[in-house]
Amino acid sequence: MTQDPITLYRSMLLIRECEAQLNDLFAKNVFPGYIHSYLGQEACAVGVCSGLNDTDYVVSNHRGRGHYLAKGMALKPMMAEMLGKATGICGGRGGEMHAADPALGILGGNGIVGAGMPIGAGAALAAQMDGLGAVSVVFFGEGASNNGAFGETLNVAAAWKLPLIMVCENNLYAEMTPFVQTVGQPDVAARATGYGVASEIVDGNDVLAVRAAAGRAVDRARAGDGPTLLELKTYRWGGHFEGDPRKYRTRNEEAEWKARCPVARFRRHLLAEVGVEEDRLVTLEAAVAAEVAEAVTFALDSPLPAPETALLKVFA
Amino acid sequence: MTQDPITLYRSMLLIRECEAQLNDLFAKNVFPGYIHSYLGQEACAVGVCSGLNDTDYVVSNHRGRGHYLAKGMALKPMMAEMLGKATGICGGRGGEMHAADPALGILGGNGIVGAGMPIGAGAALAAQMDGLGAVSVVFFGEGASNNGAFGETLNVAAAWKLPLIMVCENNLYAEMTPFVQTVGQPDVAARATGYGVASEIVDGNDVLAVRAAAGRAVDRARAGDGPTLLELKTYRWGGHFEGDPRKYRTRNEEAEWKARCPVARFRRHLLAEVGVEEDRLVTLEAAVAAEVAEAVTFALDSPLPAPETALLKVFA
Amino acid sequence: MPTKTYCWAIIDAMREEMARDDRVFLIGEDVAVAGGAFGASRGLLDAFGPMRVRDTPISEEIIVGLGVGAAMAGRRPIVEIMFIDFLGLCLDQIANQAAKTHYIYDGMFKMPLVIRMSSAVEMGIGPHHSQAWEAIVAHIPGLKVVMPSTPRDAKGLLKSAIRDDNPVIFIEHIAMHRIKEEIEDDEDFLIPIGKADVKRQGTDVTVVASGLMVARALAAAERLAVDGISVEVIDPRTISPLDFDTITASVSKTSRCLVVSSSHKNFGFGSEVAAEIGERAFFDLDQPVRRLSPPFTPAPFGRQFDQFLNPDTDAIVAAVRDLMA
Amino acid sequence: MPTKTYCWAIIDAMREEMARDDRVFLIGEDVAVAGGAFGASRGLLDAFGPMRVRDTPISEEIIVGLGVGAAMAGRRPIVEIMFIDFLGLCLDQIANQAAKTHYIYDGMFKMPLVIRMSSAVEMGIGPHHSQAWEAIVAHIPGLKVVMPSTPRDAKGLLKSAIRDDNPVIFIEHIAMHRIKEEIEDDEDFLIPIGKADVKRQGTDVTVVASGLMVARALAAAERLAVDGISVEVIDPRTISPLDFDTITASVSKTSRCLVVSSSHKNFGFGSEVAAEIGERAFFDLDQPVRRLSPPFTPAPFGRQFDQFLNPDTDAIVAAVRDLMA
Ligand SMILES: Cc1ncc(C[n+]2csc(CCOP(=O)(O)OP(=O)(O)O)c2C)c(N)n1
Ligand SMILES: Cc1ncc(C[n+]2csc(CCOP(=O)(O)OP(=O)(O)O)c2C)c(N)n1
Ligand SMILES: [Mg+2]
Ligand SMILES: [Mg+2]
């Protein structure tokens, strides 16, 4: 699936705008629960998912909105889900850490760090059995790479040559703890070789670089040549969740990373290299902002699910 | 702790003889439960443990007798434990997969593959806190390296520079499944680098090579330079447990590995390189055989523990 | 009707269901080439090939996780965890993932996953291979937990489990592998999950027994019958959801109930039955519901301990007599 | 006596015990530099330095395993697992290793390990951060399971847990973190593990309530007192071993018992109490022991579900009235 640069930009904008508006709701005290903001990591989700088909699988984690939107989840039901509303894509019962859309191959988020990796491998196994060339992508943070599930997944994927792409978004922190303080070696990608898995380290703030690397990984997977681990070096602009005072890092460091903003950077690229007219982008930006605002209104206006629905669907 | 070559040979012989006698008991149908034989791997335990002090820790697994004996566990109570007797080192309640001796730093075996690695890291952490230069050694099979605990342990040990030596006895099979069929890359040691852990691949049937590599690892650990992963390439002569018909490999392969017998090889070395008189070895061999026979008699003659003792010691 | 062992009943169930539905597959340690650590998947690799019957590494978390993900992607996995004692390595995938996926995602995904786990209670293998942990999984909403006590039940329940759209923990007791029984020769022979089985009718005391304990309860009932004590033996077959209707009806008739289980009394099967029956049939009960279970200790190595610790026929007989006193 | 919050009570307990015994140390995710994901270890890094207060990677299995190994090597570890919902990732180290080491090795090793786990039941965080899993660990012999419901209890029990030579699962409820109470200013202030606390005396009905439910049971008792119904409220404080002597004595007096818990009824706390009390006090009971628990579903996201699903004061009042009818 090739996508034109404007579509890529639009996808990044959509995420950016959603995150901004949700933070706003949080500041206004109308957001229920935690927000794990995806601000700053937009190029990761968009770069990877823009090369996928609807029949490809994506398994997300607790920081999932970027993945959901980049893989095409409808905005309104997604937004409503984040607010736990009845019109949400899971009827409001999934909430901020859980949304899914089987028709788009979006197999959910997770509240358990690392738990998505085995699940992603399972989807890859199903894809391999189906033999139709679908791939499975699992997104996780660098913190999750310290969990046992990571090694098990690398190994099984390599042993069985699963069409699995393991995408590590290395945003430097796991909650309040800097990744480098919890490891003996700071590159997650370096762990792949020992398991016989291909890997690449990519600038996670460069959507085209991510897209290219993901494309290579997808090609390899579709060809039956097995898994790839992509480590996307990036940064989360916000705290672990909104409201986190971020004492574990400097404002200076944050400013440096914001200067490497993936959205602004791609915008500059569109203007300077692709030759898109700025007007067109301005129009697009306004349109996306309006679309997100509408989705937020929709979500806010939607009713909460009836509490009794909690009793339903324990079993199929 | 330096040991003279005769002591090393004696230690290997002791293990060899124990395993032979236990198999014999099994054949005679007087062994209760499974025997996970250590035959063929003697150089691993002896090579590693001969460089350790009593204050160093060893954590074993389900195939533990070699480790116990090489670390100095008293023969009679160990043998009695294997038979589940009241005179066993754990009063017979540990049985074939569990023996320990805190005074020698032997922190037990395990029935759960991989579970010893985090425990070994914990002992290494205690040693680091004590600051007295003790090290912790954890033995495990190559099959266990596919378990999540392996990656978690490599990482924590590297991050904290724990005085931990992870000894993988790669005997090619995990139960009935060849290791190579369960991995994407056949060297366990190759996984260390990605986690920032030093590693070496060693001929596990060469006691001097094992001893030398373990010595380097121990030095590194004692110096505060962190963990090492040693992969000892070896072979278990018997089945996964005695009675296993070994359909998953050829008798030919077994014969080839038996030709590389670690005990016979070291014996040749003692005769040819060290210049030991054969008489001395023959005497020693007879003495060890007698000692083991005596221990077996002791174990066989010992009573079973009273069933009611099962109710004791649930809590300290 | 052909006579089959418990072990072959399990194999037959898988073979028939794999033949019937090519979305069904089997993975686990030593399940393929070796035909199962206990021989309970012999012939399946040959019959269905390496794409659908696979040996896994010793990676319990991903074994279950592969099942979860594959089920979300439309397959019907059977995954084997060699011993239920290894539950602690895969409980997250079972309890947080498999059990909750249908629920969290508002029914968008089904979870037709069977997790086969062997129990080795009373086989003397020691503390890490002897645990009756059905109560742990039965405490998790969204799971079904099945524990057959005969070859016929094993076959019928496993086939139902494979056809079920929900995650089912299927607990096989390897000490029963060689037991034989006649089993219907019908590819649609199913035993419903969630339905208890009255294994023997009686009027004086209800004995609820599961797994290994069923045969002992029946033997005890034989012996007690000689003395004129009529024992009704109920095998729940499914531990969760428990069929309390059947049990309550029986207890309302007999007014006395004993629960016999390999699982510890504390927070275990016996407590669950005693609490619910104590509530449902309180005014019918002449005596409190009694529980017979191993004492609250780990299981040490060796048969002599296992035999001492676990309820046997004598203990059941004695407990029933106590209830009748 | 100084007034302390539940959160500071926990910090104080650790600080005092770490000062008292330098074998005590603390590890867990975000416990050191950040002072705890919920602030429950603030100041400890500064007080005791990075050798004894360490941030770990997100590696739940080894977090517990480090504690097990260090305890075997003579230390007295406190390890923190951020939410009890992550139990499935470390249950093997808890249930097969920590719980059994003293037993298997015939008492040669002590296991003075405290595993602190936060509960976030009823905080709306969704299905993976809302579970009351005390019954799972309470089913494992060799573990002690403690669940304080007030700041004073939290401090006294945690200090006892740290001084205990056995593995203790210490369940902290983060919704109670800001509750304040006066606490003795005594470095040897301890509350014994295994002893229930009669939080309110009464004569008509015994309510056994744990964790979050204690305050609600007390509020319900207040309201019922207005109508002349005298409720005795018992907080077991320790879930395992449960102090059935205290509970039985109360029920023998009141003849009625309600058990209120955040854990599911099925194979949960309520069943355990109901079964044992049903047995011990059968002939004293006027009514069956009743259990009040959330229904057997996962916990969806959002407070409205949590409030609907979990027992509140009204529900307790209603259940007590039912028992009195
Ligand atoms: C198994 C588990 N351990 C701990 C947590 C608490 N927790 C939630 S997110 C998080 C940090 C994850 O870091 P990373 O994987 O780097 O992802 P990021 O949040 O940076 O995107 C932690 C520790 C959890 N949810 N699950
Ligand atoms: C967690 C766990 N999974 C599976 C088993 C069953 N099992 C016991 S030993 C073994 C093979 C272990 O292989 P390896 O680690 O290579 O050690 P080896 O037996 O070859 O010495 C297996 C699968 C177990 N005991 N624990
Ligand atoms: Mg991160
Ligand atoms: Mg091996």
What percent of chain A shows pLDDT beyond 90? 98
- Last residue of some domain: D123, D155, D182? D182
Query: Is B314 within 8 Å of chain D by CB?
Result: yes
C149 touches C211 (CB < 8 A): yes
| Whole-number Å distance between alpha carbons of A262 and A41 | 7
In a domain, D251, yes or no: yes
- Last residue of some domain: C182, C211, C230? C182
User: Is the per-residue pLDDT at B1 higher than 70?
Assistant: no
Residues D70 and D160 in one domain: yes
Q: Which pair of tokens denotes residue D323? A: 């028992």
How distant is the Cα of C119 from the closest Cα of chain D, in angstroms?
A: 15
Nearest to D233 by CA among D242, D245, D244, D251: D251
| Whole-number Å distance between alpha carbons of C212 and B195 | 46
A174 lines ligand 1 (CB under 6 A): yes
Residues C221 and C103 in one domain: no
Which residues are near ligand 3, the ion (C-beta closer than 5 Å)? A 141-143, 171, 174
**What confidence score (pLDDT) does residue D116 get?**
98
Query: Is A147 within 8 Å of chain D by CB?
Result: yes
- The band of A33, judged by pLDDT with boundaries at 50, 70 and 90, is confident
pLDDT digits (tens, 9 = 90+) for B99-110: 999 999 999 999
A65 lines ligand 1 (CB under 6 A): no
Best C26, C66, C140 residue to mutate vs chain A (most A CBs within 10 Å): C66
Residues of chain D with pLDDT under 70: none
- Partner residue facing B185 (CB), from A181, A185, A196: A196
- Partner residue facing D85 (CB), from C96, C136, C285: C96
Are A226 and B149 an interchain contact pair (Cβ–Cβ within 8 Å)? no
Residues D159 and D249 in one domain: no
**What confidence score (pLDDT) does residue A2 get?**
58
Residues C168 and C235 in one domain: no
In a domain, C192, yes or no: no
3-state secondary structure chain D: CCEEEHHHHHHHHHHHHHHHCCCEEEEECCCCCCCCCCCCCCCHHHHHCCCCEEECCCCHHHHHHHHHHHHHCCCEEEEEECCHHHHHHCHHHHHHHHCCHHHHCCCCCCCCCEEEEEECCCCCCCCCCCCCCHHHHHCCCCCEEECCCCHHHHHHHHHHHHHCCCCEEEEEEHHHCCCEEECCCCCCCCCCCCCCEEEECCCCEEEEECCCHHHHHHHHHHHHHHCCCCEEEEECCEEECCCHHHHHHHHHHHCCEEEECCCCCCCCHHHHHHHHHHHHCHHHCCCCCEEECCCCCCCCCCHHHHHHHCCCHHHHHHHHHHHHC
Are B307 and C297 an interchain contact pair (Cβ–Cβ within 8 Å)? no
In a domain, C18, yes or no: yes
CA torsion sign for B69, B72, B74, B80 is: negative
- The residue behind tokens 């309302």 is C252
- The residue behind tokens 């109901």 is D274
In a domain, C191, yes or no: no
Count of structural domains within chain C:
2
Domains for chain A: give ranges and CATH numbers.
5-300 (3.40.50.970)
**What confidence score (pLDDT) does residue B212 get?**
98
Residue B313 alpha carbon to ligand 2 centre in Å:
28
How distant is the Cα of A149 from the closest Cα of chain D, in angstroms?
A: 9
A30 lines ligand 1 (CB under 6 A): no
User: Is the per-residue pLDDT at A1 higher than 90?
Assistant: no
User: Is the per-residue pLDDT at B3 higher than 80?
Assistant: no
| Whole-number Å distance between alpha carbons of B2 and A305 | 72
In a domain, C137, yes or no: yes
Question: Which atom of ligand 2 sits closest to the CA of residue B145?
Answer: 15
**What confidence score (pLDDT) does residue B186 get?**
95
Structural domain including D306 reads 197-324
In a domain, C187, yes or no: no
How distant is the Cα of D146 from the closest Cα of chain B, in angstroms?
A: 15
Q: Which pair of tokens denotes residue C34? A: 């070796």
Mean pLDDT per block of 10 residues along chain C (325 residues) reads 96 98 98 97 98 98 98 98 98 98 98 98 96 98 98 98 98 96 96 98 98 98 98 98 98 98 97 97 97 98 94 98 94
- Does the complex come out with an ipTM higher than 0.90? yes
Instruction: Kindly list the residues from chain A whose CB atom is less than 8 angstroms away from the CB atom of residue D91.
Output: none
How distant is the Cα of A23 from the closest Cα of chain D, in angstroms?
A: 17
Residue D281 maps to which CATH number? 3.40.50.920
Q: Which pair of tokens denotes residue C248? A: 């309550």
DSSP state for residue B2 in the 8-state scheme: -
In a domain, D46, yes or no: yes
Residues C160 and C109 in one domain: yes
User: Is the per-residue pLDDT at B33 higher than 90?
Assistant: no
- Last residue of some domain: D182, D210, D241? D182
pLDDT digits (tens, 9 = 90+) for A211-243: 999 999 999 999 999 999 999 999 999 999 999
Q: Which residues sit opposite D290 in a β-bridge?
A: D258
Residues D153 and D204 in one domain: no
CB pairs under 8 A between B and D: 135
Instruction: Kindly list the residues from chain A whose CB atom is less than 8 angstroms away from the CB atom of residue C92.
Output: 112, 115
pLDDT digits (tens, 9 = 90+) for B224-283: 999 999 999 999 999 999 999 999 999 999 999 999 999 999 999 999 999 999 999 999
Instruction: Kindly list the residues from chain C whose CB atom is less than 8 angstroms away from the CB atom of residue B310.
Output: 295, 297, 299-300, 305, 308-309
Residue D22 phi/psi, 5° resolution? -80, 5
Residue A141 alpha carbon to ligand 3 centre in Å:
5
pLDDT digits (tens, 9 = 90+) for D214-235: 999 999 999 999 999 999 999 9
Residues D111 and D216 in one domain: no
Residue C38 alpha carbon to ligand 3 centre in Å:
43
Q: Which residues sit opposite D172 in a β-bridge?
A: D118
B142 lines ligand 2 (CB under 6 A): yes
| Whole-number Å distance between alpha carbons of C190 and C252 | 29
Residue A60 alpha carbon to ligand 1 centre in Å:
13
Mean pLDDT of the A173-192 span = 97
User: Is the per-residue pLDDT at B2 higher than 90?
Assistant: no
Residue A119 alpha carbon to ligand 1 centre in Å:
17
